[in-house]
Chains A and B, each alone.
Chain A
Amino acid sequence: MRRWLLPMAVLLPMLVFIYLPVAVLVLFSLHDGRVPVPPFEGPTLEWYGRVLANPKVVQATLASVGVAVVSAAISVALATLAGWGLARHRVPGRRWIEAAILMPLTVSYLVVGLGLMVAWSGVIPKSLPLVVIGHVVLNLPLAFAILYVQFDRDQARLEMAARDLGATEAQVFWRVTIPSLRVALIAAFALCFTFSWDEFIVAFLLSGFDPTLPVVIWSLLRTGLDPQTNAAGTLVFLVSIVGVVLVELLTHRKRARGPIV
């Protein structure tokens, strides 16, 4: 028992430090009062009603979902092709290409956002498609990092076996490569989705007149503290949680059935 004391003494305050702000946010979204400050009164769902009745918020939610789905799909598709290409062929300068694909992970969102804003000004107007491009720039390295390691020797042998049994290259790709990477593809997509879903800086710089949800929440904040923003923030948080749980269920079920050989 005693050997747990010290680790717990470190772990518990750390968890409180991480989760207290989220807990407070969620709690005061249920606050029955005009300003979300203690003491807590309520609970009430009034603010959720108001937020969901706000056409700006609804519009922005749809925009965010659209951007997240499209940018995650593009990121995963490009990362899969890049991983497959680099892992399965002798590519001159492979290391440099890998580094070039992974590099944006180290560049700050602000720089990426400003760069896209400047580079595309006059070519593509600030709009949701431009946000999609920005999110692909941010998420492609992430998807690539997840998927590239999956193209290992075992995977290569599966493809070899498929070829040996008479499959064409297209059949190898669609019937063996993609299905056997299913878990990693789901994980990469879900991660790209959640990162895009609550990304603010790039969306703020590039979305123009079609703001995404984080941008709208930010503009709500400018008019002062209001439990409405707590409610909106809680909804954003809930979507992320549901996403994570779904992925965990989908991938864990596979793992529980035994090692994927």
Chain B
Amino acid sequence: MDDLSLDIPAGSYVVLLGASGSGKTTLLSILGGFTPPTSGAVWLGDQDITLMPPARRPTATVFQDYALFPHMTVAGNVGFGLSVRGTAKAEIAAKVDAALAMVGLQGFGPRRITEASGGQRQRIALARALVTEPAMLLLDEPLGALDLNLRRQMQDELRALQRREGRTFVHVTHDQEEAMAVADMIVIMNAGRIEDHGPPERVYAKPRTRFAAGFMGESNILDASFGPDWADTALGRIPAVPQGGGAVAIRPESVLLSDAPGSVPLGMLTVTERVFQGAFARVAGRIGATELRLRCTPHDAPEAGATVPVHLAAGGAVGLAD
């Protein structure tokens, strides 16, 4: 973890995105109070919670492996946080029922944890954390153990739940599609530092750094030197803003096979590979020695070996910091 500062807006859905070892889980663990920071402070609103133990911290965590209590029923798990605070039994029962209903598990209370499926365990863990009404909900790779379809569905549900409850969610993942699907703000982490953070649309369309551009989906990254509003690259002078340290990023969907208003010709692309992906096709090729990837409709995709003119869409090149 390296000299890091992050402002999490209350009531927002924040995703910490990074590869393993990027420090995202450590940051979550610092927020949850499980790992004390060696220096620096954690503030929640106007309260310094740096040294507050997890038990008294107004945060709740959904663990990667859920960490559900195997010796308790579903209701016992969900009600645990209230029960240890000495909440009255009738109130616990009512809140547990409400929390289970919130995650779509009405009537599951008396069941045993071992009878629950992966997706159900995920929801139980979510209900168990939310029932304590935390100011901040921390989710550590919460969907990592689920299969793709269930993961998509749970992403939508998490997003809807966060909107409905209006609580701050901090969600750790290495999956950039998952991050874009749920986040109000994406924080891209690498080697213990924050590479970029902002709304998903901005982070995807205009990544700040070389790492962020490479990590958030596919990107063509070209070495460049910058003028006032252009960049000189191996493919010639192209309009690029903002100015960067030494490279520009071009998203594959910004490389066009035909002229469009405001586009700039990049040259003749010799296609080396074409991959059909269903709704779109990925095409890889070369202009001179420069490799370039693009995305187009399968109908338009040129075959391998063909040579076609390509254009850069208006505003398609973004200068990157190193």
A interface with B by C-beta (< 8 Å) = 154, 157-158, 160-168, 171, 175-176, 179-180, 182, 257-261
Taken together as a complex, chains A and B put the C-alpha atoms of A138 and B304 apart, in Å, by 77
Taken together as a complex, chains A and B put the C-alpha atoms of A77 and B236 apart, in Å, by 77
A157-B54 contact, Cβ under 8 Å, with A166-B81, A258-B114: no
Q: How far is the CB of A164 from chain B (nearest CB, A)?
A: 5
CB-CB < 8 A to A154: which residues of B? 65, 67
Say yes or no: A163 contacts B54, CB within 8 Å. yes
CB-CB < 8 A to B53: which residues of A? 163
Taken together as a complex, chains A and B put the C-alpha atoms of A179 and B80 apart, in Å, by 14
User: Who on chain A is nearest to B79 by CB?
Assistant: A165
User: Who on chain B is nearest to A182 by CB?
Assistant: B71
Say yes or no: A260 contacts B84, CB within 8 Å. no
Taken together as a complex, chains A and B put the C-alpha atoms of A173 and B198 apart, in Å, by 42
Q: How far is the CB of B73 from chain A (nearest CB, A)?
A: 12
8 closest Cβ contacts across the A-B interface? A165-B81, A258-B114, A161-B67, A167-B84, A179-B71, A157-B67, A164-B54, A171-B84
Say yes or no: B67 contacts A158, CB within 8 Å. yes
Say yes or no: A166 contacts B56, CB within 8 Å. yes
Say yes or no: A261 contacts B56, CB within 8 Å. no
User: Who on chain A is nearest to B112 by CB?
Assistant: A257
14 contacts between A and B (CB under 8 A): A154-B67, A157-B67, A161-B61, A163-B54, A164-B34, A164-B57, A165-B60, A165-B132, A167-B55, A175-B84, A176-B69, A179-B71, A257-B112, A257-B114
Question: B32 an interface residue at 8 Å Cβ cutoff?
Answer: yes
Say yes or no: A260 contacts B128, CB within 8 Å. no
Question: B217 an interface residue at 8 Å Cβ cutoff?
Answer: no
Say yes or no: A165 contacts B128, CB within 8 Å. yes
Q: How far is the CB of A133 from chain B (nearest CB, A)?
A: 33
Say yes or no: B69 contacts A180, CB within 8 Å. yes
A163-B55 contact, Cβ under 8 Å, with A168-B84, A260-B114: yes
Say yes or no: B80 contacts A167, CB within 8 Å. yes
Say yes or no: A158 contacts B55, CB within 8 Å. no
Taken together as a complex, chains A and B put the C-alpha atoms of A13 and B71 apart, in Å, by 43
Taking a contact as CB atoms closer than 8 A, the residue among B33, B84, B114, B115 that contacts A165 in the complex is B84
Question: B250 an interface residue at 8 Å Cβ cutoff?
Answer: no
B interface with A by C-beta (< 8 Å) = 32-34, 53-57, 59-61, 63, 65, 67-72, 80-81, 84-85, 112-115, 128-129, 132
User: Who on chain B is nearest to A162 by CB?
Assistant: B80
Say yes or no: B32 contacts A164, CB within 8 Å. yes
Q: How far is the CB of A261 from chain B (nearest CB, A)?
A: 6
Additional A-B contact list (7), CB under 8 Å, known A166-B55, A166-B132, A257-B112: A154-B65, A158-B69, A166-B56, A176-B69, A179-B72, A257-B114, A261-B68
CB-CB < 8 A to A175: which residues of B? 80, 84
CB-CB < 8 A to A157: which residues of B? 63, 65, 67
Q: How far is the CB of B113 from chain A (nearest CB, A)?
A: 7
CB-CB < 8 A to A180: which residues of B? 69-71
Q: How far is the CB of A225 from chain B (nearest CB, A)?
A: 51
User: Who on chain A is nearest to B128 by CB?
Assistant: A165
Taken together as a complex, chains A and B put the C-alpha atoms of A62 and B307 apart, in Å, by 96
Say yes or no: A160 contacts B69, CB within 8 Å. no
A160-B114 contact, Cβ under 8 Å, with A165-B84, A167-B80, A175-B84: no
User: Who on chain A is nearest to B65 by CB?
Assistant: A157
Taken together as a complex, chains A and B put the C-alpha atoms of A176 and B67 apart, in Å, by 11
Say yes or no: A260 contacts B80, CB within 8 Å. no
Q: How far is the CB of B144 from chain A (nearest CB, A)?
A: 15
Say yes or no: A165 contacts B71, CB within 8 Å. no
Q: How far is the CB of B83 from chain A (nearest CB, A)?
A: 8
CB-CB < 8 A to B69: which residues of A? 158, 161-162, 176, 179-180
User: Who on chain B is nearest to A159 by CB?
Assistant: B67
Most chain-A CB neighbours within 10 Å: which of B53, B68, B70, B72?
B70
User: Who on chain A is nearest to B60 by CB?
Assistant: A164
Taken together as a complex, chains A and B put the C-alpha atoms of A164 and B57 apart, in Å, by 8
